[in-house]
Amino acid sequence: MENLLILIATTIILLPLIGSLAAGLLGRVLGDRITHTIAISLVGIAFLLSCYLFKVIILDGNPPAEASLYTWATAGILRFDIALLVDRLSVAMITVVSFVSLMVHVYTVGYMAGDPGYTRFFSYVSLFTFSMLVLVLANNFLLLFFGWEGVGLVSYLLIGFWFKREAANFGSLKAFLVNRIGDIGFLLAIAAVLMYFGSLEYRQVFQQVPTMVNQTLALFPNYPVPVITLICLLLFIGAMGKSAQVPMHVWLPESMEGPTPISALIHAATMVTAGIYMIARMSPLFEYSPASLTVILVLGGTTAFFMGLLAIVQTDIKRVIAYSTISQLGYMAVALGASAYNAAIFHLITHAFFKALLFLAAGSVIVALHHEQDMRRMGGLARALPITYLTFMIGTLALCAIPPFSGFYSKDIIIEAVHLSQLPGASYAYWCVLAGAFVTPVYMFRALFMTFNGPVRIEASLRDRIQESPWVILIPLILLAIPSIISGQILITRMLFSHPTLLGNSIFVLPEHNVLGELASEYPGPLLMALEAGTTPTLWLSLAGIVVAWLFVIGFPHWSYHLKKRFSLIYHILLRKYGFDDFNQIVLVRGTRDVGHVFYDVSDVKLIDGVVVNGSGRLMLWFSKMGRQLQTGYLYHYALSMILGIVVFLAWYVGGF
């Protein structure tokens, strides 16, 4: 059975790679129709195989499978292997990743129709899927890093897909550079793991963790740092880049310059959740570092609340959803910091469905309006786009944690879990995620009302040409809407409160950090949990947010103008995104460029060119001039020189005695 499971996992990884190579190398020969048929079919088969693994590993309870496929290199006793781990966590992840990727592949047929880079786009998307599957199924840090860098590279290609647009090139470069900063931390963490544990294989590393708790490293003189804490903080730096935690969130809104299908793929279940998955996978490390968990709690709470506020002032429909992604990643990070790893993965799964749904529904609107994205030029689209409107509404309700939609179960559990956490920073994180429960419906229903309700603000030339998107776009919306409604009810008990949980031994939690265990005694079941939602502040805050959005968009739209005028400073701060982009541009971009110019002017131009190169030339010129003056041609001058030389030599020789 183990060999069969490894074979299936290997096939799941290779299928998207084959589709990518076919589309990239043979796309022009095969044509658009055959290319997308091959790519979609291969990803579809990968999804079906993932479902089979889900049944065998999770539903039937078979043990995990682990095997090495190939050895990259050996160095002494160290082996660097291409090895896979098929356990409950990896199987749950690949099922979600392959399903969302399949929906995006199908949706792309309608959205990218007629684009000159049609086959190239399919090649990139399939390659992105391959990289994410490698990342999830890896059983060691090195192969994990390979997949990690793969999704980073392909995201650069996809965000800058329309490379003739300056904004797309800027966004792709920004995403690439910010992720490289995080990857430096990740790479240093891997180096530290290899140095102290002598292995990069998860199982061998995790077995040694309890014996390494008291091991310290003198990072600074007379300041020892626990090795486990250092490794965990470096790992979290990597996660901050991929999963867009403050202050390394700045790349994610810029990724909206890519085509909408890739916005859904990057922001739903793949690249941005790679950091969340990685920390959950490393739970045996993080559990022994309370300091790292505190850092994750504080930064996650900050991200959840303050990034949600930025979505309120956005006018681009895709950027609203992008900032909501950053905010929801903050919720997942808070769950990780509270040691509620299962809840973080639970929210990752539900979020994958409704966030992909929201992006693809937004793309349907954009297609209907001939690629208009400004919500100020929309309005009144509910009748013209009824299916898109309904699916966008479902995604919004799920995101806003309205029962019984899926987001209610995962978000409510996270809020309750962090409330029970005793770690430093938990109180701050709790108030942040609680306030975020109000902010989320404000910006999402503002987007919903501005797009589908209220007065029509669409250009007159477009009004008569608006029609519902083709079925190749609508079918993925409908298929994503179904789990956005029911996945929370179906999964919550198995994910969080059963014995064993759906993720089983893939997650490790120390008894003193087991907040989900405390919640289990009060868990009433999914139905009663939805019926009793009114007993918690989360639902009332969500409903209050919906009312506020209605008042400012539909009921009394002029209030928005007066509010902006009254709180102009706050509004300006939000428009400037707290100054993160300005700081990066002024200090990091221009600052490093100015420092480079200074070094160039001083070291290169003046020191090297001026002193070393030109100076040596001038020195030789001076010597040559002096030499010419000594060559007079008179015999008595030469005789005098010889006599003086002899005198100097004799004086030196006699003085030596």
Q: Rounded to an integer, what distance in angstroms lies between the CA atom of residue 530 and that of residue 434? A: 18
Amino acid at 512: E
| Residue range 438-449, pLDDT digits in tens | 999 999 999 999
Q: Quote the tokens at residue 75.
A: 């160095």
Q: Rounded to an integer, what distance in angstroms lies between the CA atom of residue 108 and that of residue 111? A: 5
Q: Are residues 17 and 95 in the same domain?
A: yes
Q: Are residues 59 and 189 in the same domain?
A: no
Query: Is the pLDDT assigned to residue 71 strictly greater than 90?
Result: no
Q: Quote the tokens at residue 119.
A: 């086959």
Q: Are residues 133 and 146 in the same domain?
A: no
Query: Is the pLDDT assigned to residue 606 strictly greater than 90?
Result: no
Q: Are residues 211 and 92 in the same domain?
A: no
- Which among 280, 320, 276, 278 has a CA at the least distance from the CA of 300? 276
Three-point CA angle 169, 170, 174, nearest 5°: 120
- Which among 39, 41, 47 has a CA at the least distance from the CA of 98? 47
Decide which of 292 and 617 is more confident.
292
Q: Are residues 524 and 614 in the same domain?
A: no
Q: Are residues 196 and 62 in the same domain?
A: no
Task: Match 């935690």 to its residue by tokens.
Answer: 245
| Residue range 158-181, pLDDT digits in tens | 999 988 888 889 899 998 999 999
Domain count, the chain: 4
Domain membership flag for residue 409:
yes
Task: Assign 480 a pLDDT band (cuts: 50, 70, 90).
Answer: very high
Domain membership flag for residue 232:
yes
**Count of other CB atoms within 10 angstroms of residue 607:** 14
For residue 615, give the 3-state DSSP assignment: helix
Task: Assign 291 a pLDDT band (cuts: 50, 70, 90).
Answer: very high
| Residue range 385-400, pLDDT digits in tens | 999 999 999 999 999 9
Decide which of 7 and 465 is more confident.
7
In the predicted model, what is the mean pLDDT of residues 603-624?
79
Three-point CA angle 246, 247, 249, nearest 5°: 70
Query: Is the pLDDT assigned to residue 16 strictly greater than 90?
Result: yes
Query: Is the pLDDT assigned to residue 6 strictly greater than 90?
Result: yes
Say which range, 39-43, 98-102, 112-116, 447-451, has the weakest mean pLDDT. 112-116
Q: What is the pLDDT of residue 422?
A: 92
| Residue range 347-377, pLDDT digits in tens | 999 999 999 999 999 999 999 998 889 999 9
Q: What is the pLDDT of residue 294?
A: 96
Q: What is the pLDDT of residue 640?
A: 78
Decide which of 531, 558, 575 is a domain's last residue: 575
Q: Rounded to an integer, what distance in angstroms lies between the CA atom of residue 306 and that of residue 598? A: 37
Domain membership flag for residue 486:
yes
| Long-range contacts at 456-463 (CB < 8 A, ≥ 24 apart) | 456/379, 456/380, 457/376, 457/377, 457/378, 457/379, 457/380, 458/369, 458/372, 458/377, 458/378, 458/379, 458/380, 458/381, 459/377, 462/369, 462/370, 462/372
What is the rounded average pLDDT for all residues in the chain? 91
Q: Are residues 129 and 221 in the same domain?
A: no
| Residue range 241-268, pLDDT digits in tens | 999 899 999 998 888 888 888 888 887 7
Letter string b/e over residues 411-427, b meaning 16 or more CB atoms within 10 A of that residue's CB: bbbbbbbbbbbebebbe
Task: Read off φ and ψ for residue 265, nearest 5 degrees.
Answer: -70, -45
DSSP per residue over 413-478, as a string?
A: HHHHHHHH--STTHHHHHHHHHHHHHHHHHHHHHHHHHHHSSS--S-HHHHTT--PPPHHHHHHHH
Q: Rounded to an integer, what distance in angstroms lies between the CA atom of residue 599 and that of residue 338? A: 46
Q: Are residues 122 and 207 in the same domain?
A: no
Query: Is the pLDDT assigned to residue 77 strictly greater than 80?
Result: no
Q: What is the pLDDT of residue 656?
A: 59
In the predicted model, what is the mean pLDDT of residues 482-498?
94
Alpha carbon of 118 to those of 31, 82, 259, 268, 318: distances in Å? 10, 32, 11, 22, 21
- Which among 467, 181, 167 has a CA at the least distance from the CA of 318? 167
| Residue range 616-651, pLDDT digits in tens | 888 788 777 777 776 767 776 778 778 888 888 788
Domain membership flag for residue 321:
no
- Which among 416, 237, 439 has a CA at the least distance from the CA of 343? 416
Query: Is the pLDDT assigned to residue 657 strictly greater than 60?
Result: no
| Residue range 463-476, pLDDT digits in tens | 888 889 899 999 99
Q: What is the pLDDT of residue 592?
A: 83
Q: What range does the domain containing 412 cover?
A: 337-575
Domain membership flag for residue 362:
yes
**How many CA atoms, within 13 angstroms, populate the side-chain half-sphere of residue 75?**
7
Decide which of 535, 554, 575 is a domain's last residue: 575
Say which range, 105-109, 278-282, 307-311, 499-503, has the weakest mean pLDDT. 499-503
Q: What is the pLDDT of residue 458?
A: 85
Helices (H) and strands (E) in the chain, counts: 29, 4
Specify whether the CB–CB gap between 103 and 23 falls below 8 A: no
- The percentage of the chain sitting over the pLDDT mark of 90, rounded to a whole number, equals 67
Task: Assign 269 a pLDDT band (cuts: 50, 70, 90).
Answer: low
Domain membership flag for residue 152:
yes
Q: Are residues 494 and 355 in the same domain?
A: yes
Q: What is the pLDDT of residue 375?
A: 93
Decide which of 575, 598, 616 is a domain's last residue: 575
Q: Are residues 149 and 129 in the same domain?
A: no
Q: Quote the tokens at residue 415.
A: 């809020």
Q: Are residues 464 and 365 in the same domain?
A: yes
Query: Is the pLDDT assigned to residue 191 strictly greater than 60?
Result: yes
Q: Quote the tokens at residue 639.
A: 């005789």
Q: Rounded to an integer, what distance in angstroms lies between the CA atom of residue 30 and that of residue 25? A: 10
Decide which of 258 and 526 is more confident.
526
Q: Are residues 151 and 126 in the same domain?
A: no
